[in-house]
């Protein structure tokens, strides 16, 4: 005997699922190496300026290094944001995770969902929105140009496939 939830889950299997994450070109090991090199360079400059008697400049080199490290830390913290997008026969789900871990979920009926793309002639896709039932949400705003194009094609196909089943 098949219970209602089991039958519903069978018919509602995802046709499409994607996890969108911001691109960061420098990994954690590279970040540590970069900070080590920047720190060594700052220490060398601090020593030179101390030797010539320009000790007030030492504070500026220290402040520069602290600001540089802080900016990279904030950048890596922001990189923890992600979005999970899935399409099934009956449901389109967009789950947005903030860097703090807070999650907001948007759900749309597949048959009433509209996927709109705004393009710029030179840049390509500048924004993507999913709307339906009087609600809308943006998706993939942190993606680079090529990833936005790839996602838009794949999501559009998945939405068309879900509607045709």
What are the pLDDT digits (tens) for 10-21? Answer: 567 889 999 999
Element (H, E) at 163: helix 145-164
Q: What is the pLDDT of residue 57?
A: 86
Q: What is the pLDDT of residue 40?
A: 94
Q: What is the pLDDT of residue 4?
A: 33
Q: Which fold has domain 4-22+81-164?
A: PH-domain like (2.30.29)
Q: In the chain, what are the domain boundaries?
A: 4-22+81-164, 28-78
User: Tens of pLDDT along 88-105?
Assistant: 999 999 999 999 989 999
Q: What is the pLDDT of residue 5?
A: 38
C-alpha 125 chain-centroid distance: 16
- CA angle (147, 159, 130) in 5-degree steps: 65
Q: What tens-digit pLDDT sequence spans the chain (165 residues)?
A: 233 333 444 567 889 999 999 888 888 899 899 999 999 999 999 999 999 998 888 888 889 999 999 998 898 888 889 999 999 999 999 999 999 989 999 999 999 999 999 999 988 999 999 999 899 999 999 998 899 999 999 999 999 999 887
């Amino acid at each position: 005997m098949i219970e209602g939830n089991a039958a519903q889950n069978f018919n509602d299997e995802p046709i499409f699922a994607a996890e969108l994450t911001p691109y960061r070109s420098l990994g954690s090991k590279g970040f540590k190496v970069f900070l080590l090199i920047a720190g060594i360079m700052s220490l060398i400059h601090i020593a030179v300026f101390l030797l010539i008697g320009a000790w007030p400049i030492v504070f500026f080199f220290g402040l520069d290094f602290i600001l540089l490290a802080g900016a990279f830390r904030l950048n890596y913290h922001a990189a923890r944001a992600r979005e999970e997008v899935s399409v099934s026969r009956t449901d389109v789900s967009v789950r947005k995770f903030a860097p703090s871990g807070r999650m907001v979920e948007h759900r749309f009926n597949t048959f009433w969902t509209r996927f709109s793309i705004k393009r710029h002639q030179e840049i390509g896709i500048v924004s993507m929105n999913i709307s339906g039932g009087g609600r809308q949400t943006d998706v993939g705003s942190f993606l680079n140009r090529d990833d936005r194009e790839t996602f838009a094609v794949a999501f559009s196909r998945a939405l068309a496939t879900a509607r045709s089943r």
